[in-house]
């Protein structure tokens, strides 16, 4: 088998060496959060969707009712040789307010909650340590209400939500 490389979102990676990992975060409305992570060096792909709920394959309309238990989430595929999960966590903490329960700014409801959905036990340990470090630093300015749990499901959102701000020429953000 020959050497295979791919370029996705301007990032070149070696398919034989692997090194790709996934991370899933909920930090309010997924549009701005997606844009912040897409700008991070080493991010290969992003997908917005829904996780943490009870209804299989929910629609945006289902999730907006607040009755499904899903959070609007961002799933990031990243090259772990170029960006670490810990760096992902650092961006997660600054791209939203982890002290707001079931809301972010004007968006209110459990679908806008702060949550980290871990793909394995290493991510779980890193997320818990990162949250504790934030709490200990007192930089959050209040109680950190971010939920941390193992990812049980992820349902991609409708296509029109993917790269929503970029598709509309609104890829300017006040997020880091």
Residue 107 lies in a domain: yes
pLDDT score for 164: 52
Q: What is the mean pLDDT of the chain?
A: 86
Residue 140 lies in a domain: yes
Q: For the chain, how many structural domains are there in total? A: 1
Residue 31 pLDDT > 60, yes or no? yes
pLDDT score for 165: 59
Residue 162 lies in a domain: no
Residue 144 lies in a domain: yes
Task: For residue 79, give the CATH number of its domain.
Answer: 3.30.1060.10
Residue 172 lies in a domain: no
The more confident residue out of 29 and 150 is 150
Beta bridge partner(s), residue 114: 27
Domain holding 101, by residue range, is 5-157
Task: Verify whether residue 95 is a known catalytic residue.
Answer: no
Residue 65 lies in a domain: yes
The more confident residue out of 169 and 59 is 59
Residue 110 lies in a domain: yes
pLDDT score for 137: 93
Span 63-119, pLDDT tens digits: 999 999 999 999 999 999 999 999 999 999 999 999 999 999 888 999 999 999 999
Residue 168 lies in a domain: no
* Listed residue (158, 173, 176, 168) closest to 32, CA to CA: 173
Span 150-167, pLDDT tens digits: 999 999 988 766 765 566
- What is the distance between the alpha carbons of residues 140 and 99, in angstroms, rounded to a whole number? 7
- Active-site residue (options: 29, 51, 95, 118): 29
Residue 8 pLDDT > 70, yes or no? no
């Amino acid at each position: 088998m020959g050497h295979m490389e791919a370029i996705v979102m301007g990032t070149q990676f070696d398919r034989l060496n692997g090194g790709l990992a996934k991370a899933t975060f909920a930090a309010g409305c997924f549009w701005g959060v997606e844009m912040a992570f897409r700008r991070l060096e080493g991010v290969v792909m992003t997908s917005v969707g829904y996780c943490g709920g009870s209804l299989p394959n929910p629609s945006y309309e289902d999730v907006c009712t607040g009755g499904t238990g899903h959070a609007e989430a961002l799933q990031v595929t990243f090259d772990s040789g170029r960006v670490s999960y810990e760096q992902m966590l650092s961006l997660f903490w600054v791209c939203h307010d982890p002290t707001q329960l079931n809301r972010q700014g004007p968006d209110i409801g459990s679908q806008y909650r702060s949550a980290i959905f871990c793909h394995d036990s290493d991510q779980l340990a890193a997320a818990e340590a990162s949250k504790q470090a934030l709490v200990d630093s007192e930089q959050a300015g209040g109680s950190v209400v971010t939920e941390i749990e193992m990812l049980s499901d992820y349902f991609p959102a409708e296509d029109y939500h993917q790269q929503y701000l970029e598709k509309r020429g609104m890829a300017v953000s006040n997020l880091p």
